[in-house]
Amino acid sequence: MTSSSIANFSIITLISFLTLFLVCVSSNPGVFNVKYRYPRLQGSLSALKEHDDKRQLTILAGIDLPLGGTGRPDILGLYYAKIGIGTPAKSYYVQVDTGSDIMWVNCIQCRQCPKRSNLGVSIDSPLSIVISGGPLSGCKANMSCPYLEIYGDGSSTAGYFVKDVVQYDSVAGDLKTKTANGSVIFGCGARQSGDLDSSNEEALDGILGFGKANSSMISQLASSGRVKKIFAHCLDGRNGGGIFAIGRVVQPKVNMTPLVPNQPHYNVNMTAVQVGQEFLDIPADLFQPGDRKGAIIDSGTTLAYLPEIIYEPLVKKITSQEPSLKVHIVDKDYKCFQYSGKVDEGFPNVTFHFENSVFLRVYPHDYLFPYEGMWCIGWQNSGMQSRDRRNMTLLGDLVLSNKLVLYDLENQLIGWTEYNCSSSIKVKDEGTGTVHLVGSHFISFAFPLDTSLLLLLLLLLITLFLL
């Protein structure tokens, strides 16, 4: 190939690449996309615990929600979605939270609301809407209905309840969606403080609650008959991305365990803990349901927290598999060690058993993560937490990744199964009875880009190639 043909080939390749890039960044990825966001560690493991400490204090027709993620085990995470509000719809990025119920977004009259974010999303278009009352307890029609939400970490949001149209993607066929909408009552944020204000570099437009209460968005859509009160998520911990869907999952089959009644969160009855082939000797009353009993399933928590009476023998059995290990305490809370072999061959699986013979198996590559040339144990001792959280059993993404987790609020059940989260599931259309495939997704960041600048860059690069 001659030098001129190489140059022509390079220019054509460059043009093709930039053309594809322009198409990608200008396309609309859907009005209800979900992303899994991981801010990277800043040279310290303390960020993991700080995230979970705050998280524990805040725990209070099918729809396809595309899910993204990095699959990194040693960095933090939360879900956020791109939703459409109003007619015509404007896009907003909101944190998806299974530990809270109210949906709220920043409004145009908001004080101390963030205007930019380093997550690569545009959050500089606060909601402009006429404030009015709605069918909520204590609210009267044609009068403003205020709300105040104070989170355990000191952050707060205050504003007024409003009612407007929210857009989402409805399953329309195998791996196909169509735009649907429903009227939802949500908070119009007028004042934010703490981690929700303009000082937070990883801020979003608001929060989308997926909790159990009737005020949550899924409960409101279900009460109008638009969806069933069932949803599922599957986070791909290896490759990033995954699945988030609202509707009845018919494949894969998922074994279910009852939710503990009269609890605000997703509490389940745990019956035993197994390390390798051995069951831990644990007092039976530890697993009795009640205040701070049972286990909380929470996708918004990064690690997993166990009562001291479980944590101590569990970690001892793990580290005793390799007698030559020298365990170091890192950042006060993490037990770490050097190990050159394959962790799945050198250490045991940990299995949690629940009511209805349901179990959740956690592999060494899930509960061990690399850090500065060592392997660190992700299990945490909740007996060392503050009084309100002491001896809590809280199972977060450390045990939930690479599993399809199904929340059936219609029947007050929750379940999970190991699954390839980069594949697809089958969801039933309750209206027609048909079953459709819902695939995994990875949504790109929505960086605001100037197309004219990209074209100028294209011309500049072509000129350089011609020289």
In sequence order, which residues have a C-beta less than 8 Å from that of residue 329 and are 6 or more positions away?
Answer: 335, 336
- Tell me which of 97, 101, 197, 205 is the catalytic residue: 97
Provide long-range contacts, Cβ within 8 A and 24+ apart, for 12-16: 14/458, 14/461, 14/462, 14/465, 15/458, 15/462
Alpha-carbon Rg for the chain in angstroms: 24
Instruction: Count how many residues are written for the chain.
Output: 467
Strands 394-395 and 63-64: unpaired
Question: Given the DSSP bridges, would you call strands 78-85 and 146-150 parallel, antiparallel or unpaired?
Answer: unpaired
* CA–CA separation, 82 and 304 (whole Å): 28
Task: Reply yes or no on whether 97 is catalytic.
Answer: yes
Question: Which candidate in 169, 197, 236, 298 is catalytic?
Answer: 298
Query: Helix %, strand %, coil % for the chain, to 5?
Result: 20, 35, 45
* Distances in whole angstroms, Cα of residue 438 to Cα of each of 244, 245, 254, 422, 426: 9, 8, 16, 11, 6
> Letter for the amino acid at 216?
S
Which residues, at least 6 apart from 458, have a Cβ–Cβ distance to it below 8 Å? 14, 15, 18
Q: Would you say 93 and 80 are in contact if contact means Cβ atoms under 8 Å apart? A: yes
Whether 153 is a known active-site residue: answer: no
Q: Residue 8: left if φ>0, alpha if ψ -120 to 50, beta else—which one?
A: alpha
Written as six digits, the tokens of 425 are 């599931």
Cα dihedral 113, 119, 121, 127 in deg (nearest 10) = -20
Alpha-carbon gap, residue 114 to 204, rounded angstroms: 8
What residues are labeled active site? 97, 298
